[in-house]
């Protein structure tokens, strides 16, 4: 009987504006896997709380918003930008919010495999993923990328303020007690500071290929 191979799961974690999303999307296309940007789940929870007039720091309101979240919420056009950025980080620190979103993320990859990007994919959501990347870039470069993103969308933004905001959010995401952002013990580190999107993709592909081959998995 042919061996049954598990669906391929690729975990992409790391701080804000390190290039995770672009990279994860390209990896998903390359491997023919579905892609989930898990940050959108926390952003959508934050949006619901803000829209209901409650404070994103209100753990009870955040947990309730997470429990009633529907996939369509993540397709809204107003999930990116400074007010939601900060609110998403706040609601993401609430254990009941993370618990409410856990099963959706696991179910997303269970049948057919997937590429997921976030902060705790390799540590909590799919600790058994055979290929995990922790994608970073220097704080200055990440601040610059987030600033350039906003400017490209026509949002007036101050580089220094945006860089400070990105750093504050990363510090909060790394310091929280519930599923803090950190590399899994078996994550491969990819620093994209000096890499453009093509070079980051090539480097990631080489690392993942090697890791899969070392486990007897080929794609």
**Residue appearing with tokens 């007897």:** 216
CB of 213 to ligand DC, least distance (A): 27
- Nearer to ligand DC by Cβ, of 12 and 188: the residue is 12
Query: How buried is 71 (Cβ within 10 angstroms: 0-12 exposed, 13-18 middle, 19+ buried)?
Result: exposed
- Nearer to ligand DC by Cβ, of 2 and 116: the residue is 116
**Residue appearing with tokens 């975990």:** 11
CB of 163 to ligand DC, least distance (A): 15
CB of 192 to ligand DC, least distance (A): 15
- Nearer to ligand DC by Cβ, of 43 and 113: the residue is 43
CB of 66 to ligand DC, least distance (A): 12
CB of 139 to ligand DC, least distance (A): 15
- Nearer to ligand DC by Cβ, of 119 and 208: the residue is 119
Residues in contact with ligand DC by the rule CB under 6 A: 16, 38-39, 42-43, 88-89, 92, 118-120, 169, 173
Q: Which of 38, 50, 49, 1 is nearest to 121 (CA)?
A: 38
Q: Using a CB cutoff of 8 Å and minimum separation of 24, what contacts does 141-150 make?
A: 141/192, 141/193, 142/15, 142/16, 142/17, 142/18, 142/166, 143/17, 143/167, 145/17, 145/19, 146/16, 146/17, 149/17, 150/81
- Nearer to ligand DC by Cβ, of 78 and 210: the residue is 78
Q: Which helix (H) or strand (E) holds 145?
A: helix 139-152
Q: Which helix (H) or strand (E) holds 36?
A: strand 35-37
């Amino acid at each position: 009987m042919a061996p049954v191979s598990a669906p391929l799961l690729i975990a992409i974690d790391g701080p804000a504006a390190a290039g995770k999303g672009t990279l994860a999307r390209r990896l998903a296309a390359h491997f023919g896997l579905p892609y989930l940007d898990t940050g959108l789940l926390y952003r959508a929870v934050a949006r619901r709380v803000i829209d209901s007039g409650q404070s994103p720091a209100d753990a009870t309101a955040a947990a309730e918003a997470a429990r009633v979240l529907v996939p369509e919420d993540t397709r809204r056009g107003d999930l990116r930008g400074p007010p939601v950025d900060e609110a998403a980080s706040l609601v993401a620190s609430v254990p009941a919010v993370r618990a409410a979103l856990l099963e959706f993320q696991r179910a997303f990859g269970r049948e057919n495999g997937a590429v997921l990007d976030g902060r705790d994919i390799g540590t909590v959501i799919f600790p058994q993923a055979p290929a995990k990347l922790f994608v970073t870039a220097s704080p200055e470069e990440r601040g610059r990328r987030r600033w350039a993103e906003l400017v490209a969308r026509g949002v007036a933004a101050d580089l220094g303020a945006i860089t400070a905001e990105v750093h504050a959010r990363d510090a909060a995401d790394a310091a929280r007690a519930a599923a803090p952002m950190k590399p899994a013990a078996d994550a491969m580190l990819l620093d994209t500071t000096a890499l453009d999107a093509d070079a980051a993709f090539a480097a990631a592909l080489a690392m993942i290929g090697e890791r899969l081959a070392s486990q007897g998995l080929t794609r």
